[in-house]
Amino acid sequence: MPRRRRCRRVASQPRFTYFKPIGIRAMDLEEVELGMDEFEAIRLKDYLGLEQNEAAFEMGVSQPTFHRIIDEAHRKVAKALIDGLLLRMSREDQVVIVEKESYRIFECFDCESRWSVDYGIPKPMKCPNCGSTLLARVKED
């Protein structure tokens, strides 16, 4: 029996539920389901350009787990694009939705890594990646 999946942190929900080729009815298409954790992995890595270790930290998973999530997400999106399938964003219960205002983003000036810190936790004194003390809070867009 496989282990139960741990919850992942998701900071942004998809604005749309479905993507499909134009001119074909959704009911006539085979469906590929993209999990919220896979959507978040694509958003962090491909859209925001975070490194895998930074994106893994944002989602509250290990780097190897993040790698598996992003690989599966890329495979599903590629299959939907190449085979002309209906891509559906799922609404899973295995994710924790993190509101944008519930954490702060910090950046290291030396290694340029970014990470989040929940409100109520003091400002970090050093970078978790390289140990540098040259850090600053990043204003979100």
DSSP state at residue 54: H
Q: Going by C-beta distance under 8 Å and a sequence separation of 6 or more, which residues neighbour residue 56?
A: 62, 63, 65, 66
> pLDDT per residue over 128-140, tens digit each?
888 899 998 887 6
Predicted pLDDT at 96:
61
Q: Which residue has the tokens 């496989």?
A: 2
Segment 2-15 shows an average pLDDT of 70
**Cα–Cα distance between 35 and 69 in angstroms, integer?**
9
Q: Which residue has the tokens 């983003």?
A: 105
- Looking at the DSSP bridge assignments, the partners of residue 31 are 86
% of the chain at pLDDT higher than 70 = 84
Predicted pLDDT at 95:
59
What is the pLDDT of the chain when averaged over all its residues? 83
Indicate the pTM of the whole model: 0.65
For the chain, give every domain's residue range: 1-98, 103-141
Predicted pLDDT at 122:
76
Please report which confidence band the pLDDT of residue 17 belongs to, taking 50, 70 and 90 as the band edges: confident
> pLDDT per residue over 75-126, tens digit each?
999 999 999 999 998 876 555 665 555 677 888 899 888 887 776 577 888 8
